[in-house]
Structure formats: structure tokens, C-alpha cells
């Protein structure tokens, strides 16, 4: 009996990834690869759209079927030479994924029938020597898979990725091929890092520089990254996001923006990428303010510094510090992702900011700081206590007899930073007014 895959709820747990097989979804553009990817995961993580070429980067996530774990990878669609600007980079990523894969799901469109590009892909997959399952998508029933697909020599599974029909049968066979792995969910100590910035500042290049390999498609065309792309780098999980714009051209850009925000909130530290060859724009400041609003750790990475003469780099550093004075506590790095210049400093700085993100200050130390602050500058009211109510991110509660001026809170924040650090971390100070006792 044909089974329907509804998608497991537990597929996004962190697994012992060393034991999981890798499964790649391969096919032409717009055959439904991202829809199948989302169906297997049970969540809409990849952007889906009727327009071809929406997915460009390879998106890799742990999945689970019938108690067996595996990695599933959604790849950019084969587009041939119809898009010469992007196709070479997308093709390179697809080839890299297939080389690493333990099995391949070759997705075709049953409504289109067998096209010449499908035959080219099939021939290439046969040469790869990988186990291949052909999934004929957009089928209403088992009988609706065109017979011509069987001539390719692969095992054929009629499916509907949108409705889930036949996906369970496909995954049953997949598990038989790659083997059963029952990894136990385990807590991860990976530091969660989000790379954010406006389009075309080099976010994907920075991810690739940190990972030491090409995890994301790089192109001079803005908007190349649409889905979050992640890579494990040392003890960090680094996620590259779609560029954040002031205005959206269409729904696709809007949904990519929402995913970027979700990734920002998921991360602990944001690498905010700026372009050294451009002036600091309003959108750059907006992006930093988004990270501040979410109380994420912030490191400002001024990329493409190789385009700036060395004698002028100090001016660039001063300019960034001046324009980003509202985040004066955020460290600034001058880097070139393509030339691998300055990028070796990022991992150490991430660890330092991560420690600050989790810093917890004792009550006695805060009491002493409060006394010293009052001696330095009168608040105009009685201050009763200062407590750190949480860490990661750090929040403070200041109890006073009446409201305080914003200037005094800024002064108090500077005092906290001067004594305890919190480099790269936005601080929240909540004022609690406690009237006089009766």
C-alpha cells in the first residue's frame, strides 16, 4: 500500500552527525526539489516558488524516517547554459554534494515528461556510481508515472511532494539502501553564528572562507543566497543568510527576509558584514539595529578590504566606528573573505564574544558598582538595587524610587562595561520603579 509522508516533528534535533548517511536531492530547476526537501523535514525550511532557480545553495539538514536518521541535502536545480552567470557555481556545488553523498534522489517532473536535460543528468549520475532512486514528482497515483522514465535504468517512485503521496515508499527504500542509523538526540555545544548584511557584501564568501570550502554559491549578482546555508566550523555552527534589503521586489525576497530574521534570532552571535568599498548606508545601520533589538552578540566584519590601499585602511576603520557609534561596544574587523585576509582572527573573536554573551555578574559586584556610580553622578532619585536577571543574552534590572533619565541609563551601561566587559554584547537595563514605603 502506498504511504504518505507527513514529515517527522523531531527531524531538526541535533544528532551525532558523524554516523549519519548523506542523501542528495538532484534534478532540473522547478521539479519540486525544495518541496520534497520540506516534505521530508516536515517544515518549510527551503524557499519554494513556481519560478525556476529559486534554490541556488545546497541546504543540508538532519532528517528522520521510521526511526532512522540521515542528512538530506536540497541542491540548486540543473539549469544548463540558460543562466551562464550562475550555472557554473551552482554546478560546482551540485557536483561536490554528489561526491559526498551516500545516495541520490533524482527528481523529475512527470507532467513535463522525460526532457533532454533529464537524460543528461541521468547519464552523469550513472557515471558517479552512486545509488540513485528516481522520484517522478507531481503524480496523482502510482499509475501516472510516464513509462519513459523507467528506460533510464533507475528504480522509479511516483510521488507527490506537495501532498506527500508515495514519499513514504521512497524513504522506505532509501533507508534500505543507506542502512538504518538510530542516533540518539544529543545536546550540542556548538556556538550558533549568523552572517547577516545587505546583498552582495560578501556574506557567502565569508562563510566559505571560514569553512575552508565552498558551502555557498558566490556570484557578483545581488541576491544569490535565498535560503540560509549552514556549515560546522570548528565548534561553531555558521549560517549564511539572504541579503537584507530596504524594499522587497516580490514575495520571494520577503520570505527570504523572514528566514534571515529567524536565523538571526536563532544565533547567539551575528557577524554583520559591511563593504569596505562602499559608504555606510542606512540599511547597514538598520541591520545592526536588528541584531541589537534581538540582543545578539555583534562583530562588525568590514569585508573587501583588499580593494582599499593599506595607507587608507585606518580611515575606513575610523569611519565605521564613527558611523556605528551607537554600537560602540561591537568589535570591528577589517577582512577580505576572497583573499583570506584577517579571517583567521574571526574564530578567536567569536569565542571571546561568546564568553561575554554568557557572562554572569555576581550580586556583590553589582552592588559595589552601583555605589560607585552614584558617587560619580547623581541619578536624581534613590537607587535601590541592580541585579543581573539572566545571561545569554544579559539582562539587568535596576530598582529605583522613580523614573530615571535615559542619559543616566547610558552612563550606567558604560560603567557596567568598563568594569565587567560585555564586549560585542548589547545590554538591556530594565528600570523597576518602587515607590516610597508607607
Question: Is 2 a domain residue?
Answer: no
3-state secondary structure of 78: strand
Tally of domains in the chain:
3
Question: Is 143 a domain residue?
Answer: yes
User: Same structural domain for residues 275 and 340?
Assistant: yes
pLDDT of residue 149: 93
User: Same structural domain for residues 121 and 214?
Assistant: no
User: Same structural domain for residues 302 and 239?
Assistant: yes
User: Same structural domain for residues 384 and 350?
Assistant: no
User: Same structural domain for residues 332 and 195?
Assistant: yes
User: Same structural domain for residues 348 and 416?
Assistant: no
User: Same structural domain for residues 126 and 220?
Assistant: no
Question: Is 11 a domain residue?
Answer: no
Question: Is 4 a domain residue?
Answer: no
User: Same structural domain for residues 351 and 420?
Assistant: no
pLDDT of residue 29: 86
CATH of the domain at 413: 3.30.300.20
Q: Which three cell numbers stand for residue 240?
A: 549564511
Domain assignment of residue 173, given as a range: 17-178
Asked if 383 contacts 433 with a C-beta cutoff of 8 angstroms, the reply is no
pLDDT of residue 47: 46
Predicted TM-score (pTM) of this structure = 0.64
pLDDT of residue 6: 43
339-346: long-range contacts at Cβ-Cβ below 8 A with a sequence spacing of 24 or more? 339/306, 340/209, 341/305, 341/306, 342/305, 343/206, 343/209, 343/210, 346/210, 346/271, 346/299, 346/301
Number of neighbouring beta carbons within 10 Å of residue 174: 24
User: Same structural domain for residues 322 and 215?
Assistant: yes
User: Same structural domain for residues 213 and 280?
Assistant: yes
Number of neighbouring beta carbons within 10 Å of residue 258: 11
pLDDT of residue 326: 97
Asked if 404 contacts 398 with a C-beta cutoff of 8 angstroms, the reply is yes
CATH of the domain at 83: 3.40.50.300
Question: Is 7 a domain residue?
Answer: no
The rounded average pLDDT for each run of 10 residues, N- to C-terminus, in the chain (438 residues) is: 41 44 91 91 57 55 85 81 63 86 94 92 93 92 77 93 91 88 53 91 91 58 53 84 67 63 84 96 94 96 97 97 98 97 96 97 96 94 94 95 93 97 97 75
Dihedral of CA atoms 336, 202, 323, 249 in degrees, nearest 10, equals: 170
Asked if 97 contacts 125 with a C-beta cutoff of 8 angstroms, the reply is no
Question: Is 237 a domain residue?
Answer: yes
pLDDT of residue 276: 97
Question: Is 233 a domain residue?
Answer: yes
Residue 211's contacts (CB-CB under 8 Å, 6 or more residues apart) are 231, 233, 238
User: Same structural domain for residues 268 and 293?
Assistant: yes
Question: Is 5 a domain residue?
Answer: no
User: Same structural domain for residues 149 and 28?
Assistant: yes
Q: Any idea which residue has 539582562 for its cell? A: 395
pLDDT of residue 50: 45
Amino acid at each position: 500500500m502506498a504511504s504518505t509522508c507527513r514529515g517527522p516533528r523531531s527531524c531538526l534535533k541535533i544528532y551525532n552527525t558523524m554516523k549519519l548517511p548523506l542523501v542528495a536531492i538532484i534534478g532540473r530547476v522547478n521539479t519540486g526539489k525544495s518541496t520534497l526537501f520540506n516534505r521530508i523535514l516536515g517544515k518549510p525550511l527551503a524557499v519554494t516558488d513556481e519560478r525556476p532557480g529559486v534554490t541556488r545553495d545546497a541546504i543540508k539538514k538532519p532528517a528522520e524516517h521510521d526511526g532512522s536518521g540521515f542528512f538530506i541535502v536540497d541542491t540548486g536545480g540543473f539549469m544548463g547554459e540558460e543562466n551562464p552567470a550562475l550555472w557554473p557555481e551552482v554546478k560546482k556545488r551540485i557536483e561536490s554534494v554528489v561526491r559526498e553523498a551516500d545516495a541520490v534522489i533524482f527528481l523529475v517532473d512527470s507532467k513535463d515528461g522525460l526532457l533532454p536535460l533529464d537524460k543528461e543528468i541521468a547519464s552523469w549520475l550513472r557515471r558517479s556510481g552512486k545509488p540513485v532512486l528516481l522520484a517522478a514528482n507531481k503524480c496523482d497515483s502510482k499509475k501516472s508515472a510516464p513509462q519513459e522514465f523507467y528506460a533510464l535504468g533507475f528504480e522509479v517512485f511516483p510521488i507527490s511532494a506537495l501532498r506527500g503521496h508515495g514519499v513514504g515508499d521512497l524513504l522506505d527504500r532509501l533507508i534500505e539502501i543507506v542502512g538504518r542509523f538510530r542516533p540518539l538526540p544529543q545536546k550540542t555545544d556548538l556556538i550558533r553564528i549568523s552572517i547577516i548584511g545587505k546583498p552582495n557584501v560578501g556574506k557567502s564568501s565569508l562563510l566559505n572562507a571560514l569553512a575552508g570550502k565552498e558551502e555557498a554559491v558566490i556570484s557578483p549578482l545581488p541576491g544569490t543566497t535565498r535560503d540560509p546555508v549552514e556549515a560546522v566550523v570548528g565548534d561553531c555552527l555558521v549560517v549564511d543568510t539572504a541579503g537584507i534589503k530596504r524594499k522587497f521586489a516580490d514575495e520571494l525576497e520577503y520570505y527570504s527576509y523572514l528566514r534571515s530574521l529567524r536565523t538571526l534570532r536563532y544565533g547567539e552571535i551575528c557577524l554583520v558584514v559591511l563593504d569596505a568599498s562602499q559608504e555606510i548606508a542606512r540599511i547597514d545601520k538598520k541591520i545592526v539595529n536588528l541584531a541589537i533589538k534581538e540582543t545578539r552578540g555583534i562583530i562588525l566584519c568590514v569585508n573587501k578590504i583588499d580593494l582599499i590601499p593599506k595607507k587608507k585602511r585606518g580611515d575606513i576603520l575610523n569611519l565605521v566606528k564613527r558611523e556605528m557609534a551607537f554600537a560602540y561596544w561591537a568589535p570591528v574587523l577589517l577582512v577580505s573573505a576572497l583573499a583570506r585576509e584577517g579571517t583567521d582572527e574571526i574564530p578567536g573573536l567569536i569565542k571571546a564574544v561568546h564568553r561575554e554573551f554568557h557572562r554572569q555578574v555576581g550580586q556583590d559586584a553589582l552592588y559595589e558598582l552601583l555605589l560607585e556610580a552614584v558617587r560619580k553622578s547623581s541619578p536624581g532619585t534613590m537607587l535601590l538595587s541592580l541585579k543581573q536577571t539572566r545571561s545569554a543574552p544579559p539582562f539587568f534590572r535596576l530598582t529605583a524610587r522613580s523614573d530615571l533619565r535615559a542619559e543616566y541609563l547610558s552612563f550606567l551601561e558604560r560603567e557596567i562595561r568598563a568594569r565587567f566587559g560585555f564586549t560585542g554584547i548589547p545590554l538591556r537595563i530594565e528600570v523597576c520603579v518602587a515607590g516610597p514605603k508607607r
